[in-house]
Amino acid sequence: MVMARICIVTGKVRSVGCRIIRKGQSKKSGGIGTHVVKRTKRLFKPNLQRIRVMLPSGQVKRVWVSVKAIKAGLVQKVVS
């Protein structure tokens, strides 16, 4: 079974956005301004780490957790 990369604490998942290509000289540099030429779909991936955590049932398990949740102290790392 393949597990999706979703944070078990915050529920963060990957999101879709665009990579925007602009061309032209900026107005600040004396041009007529930049214009959007191309938009390409891309993915924004959350910063997930696979760490060992203690579940509420007392079981130790390796799960995907976002770094934001680790820094905030929402999960406790289990060191063996």
pLDDT at 1: 55
Higher pLDDT, 79 or 39: 39
* Helix, strand or coil, per DSSP, at residue 71: helix
Per-residue confidence band for 4, with pLDDT thresholds at 50, 70 and 90 = confident
pLDDT, one tens digit per residue, over 31-57 is 999 999 999 999 999 999 999 998 888
Q: 79, 18, 72, 27: which is closest to 53 by C-alpha?
A: 79
Beta-bridged to residue 66, according to DSSP, are 48
